[in-house]
């Protein structure tokens, strides 16, 4: 019984320390961050955004009208130099998630898209995450 109590206490302490480090990291990264600014040190330089389209499903092919209906995910990554940290100062945390709208995000729109579901036409707010190298990843 005693060993179970010690094990549970150790886990609880580790969770408290981890959440403190994560909160401190998030607060430090967001302190001077402005999500309206492009993440470049020199504003005459572009932000390079890497796009990846992952085809999940071919739903239908309309040969006569030359239309293909697919289910696909659009993933994109970019470098945000403002979101870099020393892992040793933050409990060895190597990545952190951000709610949509808190981080600069490129405007990406598929011009030839069509949605059967009108709900999918709105701008979907999805979380993003950053790793210690300040690479930003937009989740699907």
Domains of the chain: 2-138 (2.70.170.10)
pLDDT for 107 equals 84
pLDDT band at 15 (very low <50, low <70, confident <90, very high): very low
Q: What is the pLDDT of residues 80-108, one digit of tens each?
A: 999 888 989 999 998 888 887 888 888 87
pLDDT for 18 equals 58
Distance (Å, whole) CA 76 – CA 80: 13
More confident residue, 133 or 31: 31
pLDDT for 42 equals 92
- The full 3-state SS of the chain, as one line of letters, equals CHHHHHHHHHHHHHHHHHHHHHHHHHHHHHCCCCCCCCCCCCCCCCCCEEEEEEEEEEEEEECCCCEEEEEEEEEEEEECCCCCCCHHHHCCCCEEEECCCCCCCCCCCCCCCCCCCHHHHCCCCCCEEEECCCEEEECC
Task: Average the pLDDT over 40-69 and give the result.
Answer: 92
pLDDT for 138 equals 64
Its pTM stands at 0.68
More confident residue, 21 or 113: 21
Q: What percent of the chain has pLDDT over 90?
A: 31
Q: What is the pLDDT of residues 1-10, one digit of tens each?
A: 655 444 444 4
Task: Average the pLDDT over 46-57 and give the result.
Answer: 91
């Amino acid at each position: 019984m005693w060993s179970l109590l010690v094990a549970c206490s150790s886990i609880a302490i580790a969770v408290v320390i981890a959440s403190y480090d994560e909160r401190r990291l998030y607060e430090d990264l967001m302190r001077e961050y402005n999500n309206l600014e492009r993440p470049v040190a020199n504003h005459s330089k572009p932000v390079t955004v890497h796009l990846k389209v992952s085809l999940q499903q071919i739903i239908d092919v309309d040969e006569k009208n030359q239309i293909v209906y697919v289910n696909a995910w659009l993933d994109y990554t970019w470098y945000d130099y403002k979101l870099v940290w020393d892992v040793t100062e933050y409990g060895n945390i190597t990545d952190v998630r951000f709610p949509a709208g808190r981080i600069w995000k490129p405007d990406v729109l598929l011009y030839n898209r069509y949605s059967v579901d009108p709900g999918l036409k709105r701008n979907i707010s999805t979380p993003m995450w950053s790793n210690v190298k300040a690479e930003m990843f937009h989740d699907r």
